[in-house]
Amino acid sequence: MATTVVNRDLVRVIAEEMAYGVETAVEHWMSQIDMSLTDIHLTTLGRLNAVREIVESYKHLTGKVRLDCNRSELDS
């Protein structure tokens, strides 16, 4: 019984840490995109290119060639 409680606590702590890590990463990427979109020194095309660079950087860092997106989830 005590082992089960310890295991549940460990799983909870690990899950919380993972969630925090994901939230931190998403916040980082979103803030970079936000800064690019609100940079008054950039033209509209410059803003678009800045966001494209962020996406390309993300793909490079993660080793992804393209980003998968389930289109049906976006349509709902």
How much is the pLDDT for 75?
56
How much is the pLDDT for 45?
97
pTM over 0.85? The answer is: no
For 76, the token pair is 């709902």
- Contact in structure between 29 and 54 (CB atoms under 8 Å): yes
Q: Cα angle vertex 59, ends 56, 61, to 5°? A: 110
- CA separation, residue 50 to residues 8, 20, 42, 61, 68 (Å): 44, 27, 9, 17, 21
* Per-domain boundaries in the chain: 32-60
Task: Please tell me whether residue 10 adopts helix, strand or coil conformation.
Answer: helix
Question: Could you read off the pLDDT tens digit of each residue along the chain, which spans 76 residues?
Answer: 566 767 888 999 999 999 999 999 999 999 999 999 999 999 999 999 999 999 999 999 989 998 887 765 555 5
